[in-house]
Amino acid sequence: MPLNKLRASTLEFVLFYICLGLSGGLFAFAAIEDFRKWKIRNRTVFALIGAYIVVAGIGLSTTDIQLAGLVDPLNDLGAAALLFAIGFVLWGLKMLGAGDAKLLFPVGLFVGWTHLLLFSIGLVVFAVVPLIGLRLPHLNLIAHTRIGLRLLEIRDTKKIPYGVVIVAALYLVIFVKFV
């Protein structure tokens, strides 16, 4: 009997991490979409919320994942609501795009309440690095590539695709939280 429990637990862990990896891929898609078009679509945000529901469902069905504190829906929902509220205020002040504000909700679900400080530190670090990088003259060296042209456009318009920064900070948290 313990062998069956071990197999079920191992299978649930594998499914949990596969769904977590797929969620990471959806977040990468959102960041790329924001970089390319300055847009994060509602369907992408809803897909990310759905991915969290699947990850949380698998996590809650496994005692080991519950005990490790990897999934805590109430705390995760609290973090998501706080980040969304902050994003909404920043959007109202024209400091953040609507897509970036919407993206903060599913990000909060995956970050969770206990990792909000690390996420905030990641946001600062990953926001400062591109701002400095866009001012350096080496950008002209890659100006002939698609990415280089886009970076020049971002520099000239001064519109930063913050979805990229948000997702980079999220990846830092996911690495620390789940690995």
Residue 1 clears pLDDT 70, i.e. is over it: no
Do 105 and 53 meet the contact criterion of CB atoms below 8 Å apart? no
List, for residues 4-62, the tens digit of each pLDDT value: 444 557 888 888 899 999 999 999 999 999 999 999 999 999 999 999 999 999 888 88
